[in-house]
Amino acid sequence: MSAIRHALTNRREDDFAAWYQEVVSAADMAEESGVRGCMVIKPWGYGIWERMQRLLDARIKEAGVQNAYFPLFIPLSNFEREAAHVEGFAKEMAVVTHHRLIADGKGGLIPDPEAKLEEPLVVRPTSETIIGDAMSRWVQSWRDLPLLLNQWANVVRWEMRTRMFLRTAEFLWQEGHTAHENAENARVETMRALEMYRAFAEEDVALPVIVGEKPENERFPGAVETWSIEAMMQDGKALQAGTSHYLGTNFATAANIRFQDREGSQQLAHTTSWGLSTRMVGALIMTHGDDDGLRVPPQLAPQQVVILPMLRGDDGDGPLLEYCEELRGTIAGQQAFGEKLRVLLDRRSGKAAAKRWDWVRRGAPVIVEVGPRDREAGKVSMLRRDRLWGEGGKPGFEAPTREEAAQALPGMLAEIQSGLFDEAAVRRSRNITRDIDSFDALSGFFAEDRRYPGWAEVQWCRPTGPALDAVVERLKALKLTIRNVPVDAEPADGACLFSGAPATERILVARAY
Amino acid sequence: MSAIRHALTNRREDDFAAWYQEVVSAADMAEESGVRGCMVIKPWGYGIWERMQRLLDARIKEAGVQNAYFPLFIPLSNFEREAAHVEGFAKEMAVVTHHRLIADGKGGLIPDPEAKLEEPLVVRPTSETIIGDAMSRWVQSWRDLPLLLNQWANVVRWEMRTRMFLRTAEFLWQEGHTAHENAENARVETMRALEMYRAFAEEDVALPVIVGEKPENERFPGAVETWSIEAMMQDGKALQAGTSHYLGTNFATAANIRFQDREGSQQLAHTTSWGLSTRMVGALIMTHGDDDGLRVPPQLAPQQVVILPMLRGDDGDGPLLEYCEELRGTIAGQQAFGEKLRVLLDRRSGKAAAKRWDWVRRGAPVIVEVGPRDREAGKVSMLRRDRLWGEGGKPGFEAPTREEAAQALPGMLAEIQSGLFDEAAVRRSRNITRDIDSFDALSGFFAEDRRYPGWAEVQWCRPTGPALDAVVERLKALKLTIRNVPVDAEPADGACLFSGAPATERILVARAY
């Protein structure tokens, strides 16, 4: 029996959903806003999203993509132009119908009937149609291509069942939109964005992902191809962490994005879009969290090192704070991952132990406690969040000198970053099963009494139309979905799990968020 | 007669409004979106806003304010709680009434009558009420104060007459919201934010501003005090570039933000809010633009230096590009304003002169052209945007060696930044008149036939209520408004311009955006 008293009430192995909610709350990530389906992202959660923005934005700019900003509101008629697109989104959009409020005569307010919009406006669920309009104005000649745009924005999709970071009515994301001379160039861009997402997920979020194409039934409404990165959460479910779409000429036709080609004739542009959202914060929590709260990869931690002076409200506090401030300065002068270290000296009053557990639950990578005796000995008490528990169920503090601590930090942070990735990668490998060769075996693998079964990689013959629908229905009965066709999977060498015909490729099947 | 052929069609002195629109378009800043009142911010315009965000955000974080994110939608009932606030905003808000679309049976879409919201949602015009809700949950004790929050967000105010960057239905901004133990602390924060805006405007945007308190009639709806920074545009009109509000306990009462004070009794928090928006981009254009387009202060330029190789589509292009790439690397290794230089090598095909004028209109601070002869001589042709015209109506190129150019750039950029500020400050000083001592004289000063008269600083006795209303009406007849009561003005020593009573302070009176 472990003597460890964990910082959270819920254990991952007992009730993953309750554990997730507790981490979101205990790590000060977000909370319900009182507005249906909308969350408040609290400073620590938003700080992590800001780090994601900064690191992904650098990758976006590196690729020559330019940021811009397009309207929040999209006229209803824009959605009527692309049939598959509207079919996919029409059911869940916020619709603005009035532009003024008036008093209702009973002390309240109502939308002013005199101020009804002639054409309702939709709050953007995604921006293909409105950005397509701009592209049609900006693209005249092949010289204007490729046109590589991105926007950081809020979008709204009315969701019936919401869950913080994973599925909320309003969420934050970036959406890339590009136009190209031909299918080949657009497909290259689709894959470039996908590879950018893979690198961002694995290098910055420490989130191992599987890159692959979505099956036909999971395509973005209006897309010719949809590709995704899929990550495994600690309950074995899959989470789609980013998507990249080759849209063919579908949206170019709808928005009339035409250009004069090198031979002088008019052509439709080929477009792509790709997006990654605050969902990634949910993926981070469900991948790196443990029974003591969150563990933030150092690359994304708003504060990588938190210094906690053990203040006593007496004369000793002054010299102690001075000692800590010097330490803070020394650490802040160091670099990790090519940036200055982010270090916070937490001067708040309150018990040191309570503050320590606050930062443990939030997942600050390294906590440095300093008491009067540490100061006298020229030392500090250092605790790594990824090695929280030492012997005897006690926090695993080490006691280096102040100088040793400051020097060790850059390497330690790099080690924590790669350690979190390795841990997740090992867990994922262990939980992908590849020897399932019948639908019955699949059904047994995902039986209700099997806890956190993970993913199954199975072989199929890539059915389309009604045959695919039938497969999707059979999987749905087991609450399963096809995640993607991994690009790195082995070639098929057996029979299709669903039809028995010779298989053509391998797919990942899983429960999913 | 000048032989200069300017890059724009419109002159500031002929038609300032037409000139402004031309710069917005010719500098690739923004364009109409086709969605009523909403603009598309194009990459160069958005790049300038991103620089503003980065520099202002650093100042916000430096002050210990934390970023967070709150819902786009605000329930109608939130607005009913604070009477003055709803009075100020109720007339111009976008209202969401439905959450689904359905086919209308005629090939179109309509809001689904079955999906009408029980309580309409307002698209935030500002977030005091929704952030107040969160504060009421987060603040329990004096130990939770001060609570210092900020969000970067889009907001919507339905405007009848819109103008790009200056007045659009949707705009981007940051809004700071803070809660404090008492009035004194909240007032200190109000003034800290104001001073932060002043420093940002003057140091980063090179925009001289006058700091002061708004008169009662210009207060933010629900505020106890509103303070502003006011800038003078080149047509002599004023533009409010940022505001900071002390809200007293008005919003705390409405949202029930209460805390246990140091003595153990329940108190209402005192709150502040402060905001700065994409309007600042409009201020930048109207302050630093000239008859050749925009001039972007180097601190805000997405690209501070643009290298233009004179490509000829022949064998010489390879060595020329190589020479330019080396130059780019050398320049990128330099620092200005504590950051690496932002330098672009423009490899696009097209005539060098056409590309030069593109970058002149966009206002890149320094353009470096390199032709085959420059390369052979180890030189470059360098053009400063702030000294565009040399002798004989020709662009004022200089011809330093490549090494001299790279070494000179950091100092040159600093010089351009301070030069733009000085130029605007001198113009403003010249255009504030302080010797107007009667309403008739004021009326004459702002007579219709006087072009770009500037501002008048006059004395008054700070009337309130109906007396103030009367003053506001008299000014309105002259299309004038009171901008603010400058904190740095001389003490009053004369009579009130409106009543003849002994004056108590000086105010700025102007036409305004």
pTM, rounded to two decimals = 0.97
Mean pLDDT check: name the lowest of A85-89, B291-295, B358-362.
A85-89
Residues of A in contact with B121 (CB under 8 A): 35, 94
> CB count, 10 Å around CB of B25?
16
Residues of B in contact with A158 (CB under 8 A): 99-100
Mean pLDDT check: name the lowest of A74-78, A436-440, A491-495, B420-424.
A74-78
- Interface check for B94 against chain A (CB to CB < 8 A): the answer is yes
Q: Are A295 and A385 in contact (CB under 8 A)?
A: yes
Distance of alpha carbon A279 from alpha carbon A283, whole angstroms? 6
Q: Is the pLDDT of residue A184 over 70?
A: yes
Distance of alpha carbon A125 from alpha carbon B58, whole angstroms? 31
Mean pLDDT check: name the lowest of A6-15, A336-345, B187-196, B309-318.
B309-318
Alpha-carbon distance values, A477 to A397, A462, A471, B227, B484 (Å): 49, 20, 10, 62, 68
Average pLDDT of the residues in A466-479: 97
Query: How far does the CA of residue A452 sit from the closest CA of chain B (Å)?
Result: 33
pLDDT of residue A114: 95
Average pLDDT of the residues in A215-229: 96
Residues of A in contact with B35 (CB under 8 A): 71, 73-75, 121, 130
Are B170 and A73 a contacting pair at CB < 8 A? yes
> CB count, 10 Å around CB of A184?
10
From B123, B121, B103, B122, select the one nearest B113 (Cα to Cα). Answer: B103
Q: Are B274 and B190 in contact (CB under 8 A)?
A: yes
pLDDT of residue B1: 46
Q: Is the pLDDT of residue B88 over 80?
A: no
pLDDT of residue B253: 96
Are B99 and A94 a contacting pair at CB < 8 A? yes
Q: Are A408 and A271 in contact (CB under 8 A)?
A: no
From A300, A290, A413, select the one nearest A26 (Cα to Cα). Answer: A290
Phi, psi angles (nearest 5°) of residue B74: -120, 125
Q: Is the pLDDT of residue A342 over 70?
A: yes
Alpha-carbon distance values, B466 to B83, B239, B460, B462, B470 (Å): 20, 26, 15, 12, 6
pLDDT of residue A159: 85
Q: Which amino acid is located at A212 in the chain?
A: G
Q: Which residues are CB-contacts of B291 (< 8 A; sequence separation ≥ 6)?
A: B6, B7, B8, B11, B12, B19
**SS3 assignment for A248-287:** CCHHHHHHCCEEECCCCCEEECEEEEEEEECHHHHHHHHH
Distance of alpha carbon B153 from alpha carbon A133, whole angstroms? 24
Q: Is the pLDDT of residue B16 over 60?
A: yes
Interface of B with A in 22-41 (CB under 8 A): 31, 33-35, 38-41
Phi, psi angles (nearest 5°) of residue A451: -80, 130
Distance of alpha carbon A153 from alpha carbon A131, whole angstroms? 13
pLDDT of residue B91: 76
Q: Is the pLDDT of residue B90 over 70?
A: no
Q: Is B14 exposed, middle or buried (0-12, 13-18, 19+ CB in 10 A)?
A: exposed
Average pLDDT of the residues in A20-26: 98
The sign of the torsion formed by the CA atoms of A406, A410, A413, A418 equals negative
Interface of B with A in 122-161 (CB under 8 A): 122-123, 130, 133-134, 137, 143, 149, 153-154, 156, 158
**Coil, strand or helix at A300:** coil
In eight-state DSSP terms, residue A217 is: G
Q: Is the pLDDT of residue A2 over 70?
A: no
* pLDDT tens column, B111-163: 999 999 999 999 999 999 999 999 999 999 999 999 999 999 999 999 888 89
pLDDT of residue A277: 98
Alpha-carbon distance values, A270 to A134, A183, A220, A221, A225 (Å): 15, 6, 16, 16, 12
Residue B306's DSSP bridge partners are B344, B367
pLDDT of residue A12: 97
Q: How confident is the model at residue A468 (pLDDT cuts 50, 70, 90)?
A: very high
* pLDDT tens column, A110-135: 999 999 999 999 999 999 999 999 99
Does the predicted interface ipTM exceed a cut of 0.90?
yes
Distance of alpha carbon A204 from alpha carbon A417, whole angstroms? 8
Residues of B in contact with A86 (CB under 8 A): 101, 109
* pLDDT tens column, B211-253: 999 999 999 999 999 999 999 999 999 999 999 999 999 999 9
Q: Is A139 exposed, middle or buried (0-12, 13-18, 19+ CB in 10 A)?
A: buried
Phi, psi angles (nearest 5°) of residue B23: -65, -45
**SS3 assignment for A309-332:** ECCCCCCCHHHHHHHHHHHHHHHH
Average pLDDT of the residues in B187-215: 98
- Interface check for A79 against chain B (CB to CB < 8 A): the answer is yes
Q: Is B3 exposed, middle or buried (0-12, 13-18, 19+ CB in 10 A)?
A: exposed
pLDDT of residue B2: 57
Query: How far does the CA of residue A132 sit from the closest CA of chain B (Å)?
Result: 11
Distance of alpha carbon B198 from alpha carbon B457, whole angstroms? 20
> CB count, 10 Å around CB of A159?
17
Are B100 and A92 a contacting pair at CB < 8 A? yes
Are B96 and A94 a contacting pair at CB < 8 A? yes
Phi, psi angles (nearest 5°) of residue B57: -60, -40
Distance of alpha carbon A510 from alpha carbon A484, whole angstroms? 10
Q: Which helix (H) or strand (E) holds B372?
A: helix B372-377
- Interface check for A58 against chain B (CB to CB < 8 A): the answer is no
Q: Which helix (H) or strand (E) holds B242?
A: strand B238-246
Q: What are the structural domains, with CATH classification, of chain A? A: 16-96+124-288 (3.30.930.10), 305-412 (3.40.50.800), 432-510 (3.30.110.30)
Distance of alpha carbon B488 from alpha carbon B176, whole angstroms? 25
Distance of alpha carbon A293 from alpha carbon A285, whole angstroms? 9
Long-range contacts of A214-219 (CB under 8 A, 24+ apart): A214/A243, A214/A482, A214/A484, A214/A485, A215/A462, A215/A468, A215/A482, A215/A484, A215/A485, A215/A507, A216/A464, A216/A468, A217/A468, A217/A469, A217/A472, A217/A482, A218/A481, A218/A482, A219/A245
Q: Is the peptide bond before A208 cis (omega within 30 degrees of 0)?
A: no
- Interface check for A70 against chain B (CB to CB < 8 A): the answer is yes
Query: How far does the CA of residue A489 sit from the closest CA of chain B (Å)?
Result: 39
Mutation for A interface: B65, B91, B96, B340, most A CBs within 10 A: B96
Interface of B with A in 171-200 (CB under 8 A): 172
Closest residue to B93, CB basis, from A43, A93, A100? A100
Residues of B in contact with A75 (CB under 8 A): 34-35
Are A95 and B100 a contacting pair at CB < 8 A? yes
From A143, A191, A193, A178, select the one nearest A271 (Cα to Cα). Answer: A178
Q: How confident is the model at residue A1 (pLDDT cuts 50, 70, 90)?
A: very low
| Contact pairs from chain A to chain B, CB under 8 Å | 200
Closest residue to A93, CB basis, from B71, B100, B350? B100
Average pLDDT of the residues in A29-54: 96
Q: Is B297 exposed, middle or buried (0-12, 13-18, 19+ CB in 10 A)?
A: buried
Residues of A in contact with B108 (CB under 8 A): 76-77, 80
